[in-house]
Amino acid sequence: MQPSKIKCIGILTSGGDAPGMNAAIRAVTRSAICHGFSVKGIYRGYEGLINGEIKDFTTENVSNIIQTGGTILRTARSKAFETPEGKQQAYDQMVKHGIDALVVIGGDGSLTGARDFAEMFDVPCVGLPGTIDNDLYGTYSTIGYDTTLNTITQCVDKIRDTAHSHERIFFVEVMGRDAGFLAQNSAIAAGAEAAIIPEYITNSDQLVKFMERGIRKSKKSCIVIVSESPKCGAMHYANRVKKEYPQFDVRVSILGHLQRGGSPSAYDRILASRLGVGAIEAIMQGQRNIMIGIRNDEVVYVPLSAAISREKPISQELITVLDELSI
């Protein structure tokens, strides 16, 4: 599909919702209309594309949403879209509804879907990084990450009050799937004593390291932020402490889905707005199969395949900052 032939842009959100997705939908819609494209909103992610849950979007559809969490387009994790038959149905719906290019807002699973779809059909796909996990390569931040970091920090501030009063150890479990950005940075922001993150779980026994140096005479309470993990989340570490260090009073707090809700921060609204405008600019330039990211405060284009498959490491400097400041 030549850029000059693109008349209609479809937009969908997919995977876990993230605060700022609505700001991104608004930006893509308004920027597209500004440049003379028509816009179609696709409901319930790829599932809705397969089922033809598609509506014409005007600027009014995206009024009064920049400040809201969740996604007005709804979202889903589609198993059907992972199959060639599902992708064929999705393509047929695009043809039926006259959609020439697709903007996908989501995390790595959603952008993997976009990459595979673009390889099967001649459809320009542009991804926007929309996930609280911040685990996409090539962008400093993903839409929703900053808001969630702030939400976690506010929750931990509250937990600290009771931890201090009762002189307890609290293990606070946060989201992030396989990435420790939320845990590491919320630990720094909330002044926690340690973070246990998936990137380092195999390297050493992080609990022993922390217990040996973390609980000092001057500190009777402490907070450890733990990345979610089916095998070794906060409960796992709390149970170990109860067994191995019975002198401590231990509690667990699992923050769960409250981390994904709420009004997006100013940072996420601005990021989503810039990336949304960037997506339309990229489509007009004839770019395809890329993710729009932010690096050094500039909008950048990242090949979808790199965004989803390259590792985004946690910098050693962040580990050092937390280690040094939690003595």
Q: Which one among 131, 139, 206, 265 touches ligand F6P, defined by CB under 6 A?
A: 131
For the beta carbon of residue 116, count every other beta carbon within 10 angstroms: 16
Distance from C-alpha of 46 to C-alpha of 73, rounded to nearest angstrom: 11
Is residue 177 involved in binding ligand F6P (CB under 6 A)? yes
Residues 6+ apart with CB under 8 A from 112: 308
Is residue 69 involved in binding ligand F6P (CB under 6 A)? no
Is residue 74 involved in binding ligand F6P (CB under 6 A)? no
- Pattern 222-261, ligand F6P, x by CB under 6 A: ------x-------------------------------x-
Is residue 13 involved in binding ligand F6P (CB under 6 A)? no
Residue type, 219: K
Distance from C-alpha of 219 to C-alpha of 153, rounded to nearest angstrom: 20
Q: Which one among 11, 32, 90, 132 touches ligand F6P, defined by CB under 6 A?
A: 132
Shortest Å distance, C-beta 179 to ligand F6P: 8
Nearest to 12 by CA among 116, 102, 97: 102
For the beta carbon of residue 251, count every other beta carbon within 10 angstroms: 15
Q: What CA dihedral angle connects 64, 70, 72 and 74, to 10 degrees?
A: 180
Nearest to 323 by CA among 198, 153, 242, 206: 206
**Taking a C-beta distance cutoff of 8 angstroms, is the pair 222, 251 a contact?**
no
By CB under 6 A, which span of 30-38, 130-138, 264-272, 308-316 interacts with ligand F6P? 130-138
**Taking a C-beta distance cutoff of 8 angstroms, is the pair 273, 27 a contact?**
yes
Shortest Å distance, C-beta 112 to ligand F6P: 13
- How far, in whole angstroms, is CA 80 from its chain's centroid? 22
Is residue 133 involved in binding ligand F6P (CB under 6 A)? yes
By CB under 6 A, which span of 86-94, 128-136, 214-222, 294-302 interacts with ligand F6P? 128-136
Shortest Å distance, C-beta 163 to ligand F6P: 24
Shortest Å distance, C-beta 257 to ligand F6P: 6
**Taking a C-beta distance cutoff of 8 angstroms, is the pair 77, 45 a contact?**
yes
Is residue 21 involved in binding ligand F6P (CB under 6 A)? no
For ligand F6P, the closer of residues 132 and 196 by Cβ is: 132
Listed in sequence order, the DSSP H helices in 37-196 are 45-51, 84-97, 108-120, 145-166, 181-190
Q: What CA dihedral angle connects 197, 200, 201 and 207, to 10 degrees?
A: -70
By CB under 6 A, which span of 37-45, 65-73, 171-179, 193-201 interacts with ligand F6P? 171-179
- Pattern 24-53, ligand F6P, x by CB under 6 A: ------------------------------
For ligand F6P, the closer of residues 134 and 221 by Cβ is: 134
For ligand F6P, the closer of residues 103 and 132 by Cβ is: 132
As annotated, the active-site residues are 133
Is residue 107 involved in binding ligand F6P (CB under 6 A)? yes
Using CB under 6 A as the criterion, which residues of the chain lie in contact with ligand F6P when the complex forms?
A: 16, 107, 131-133, 175-177, 228, 260
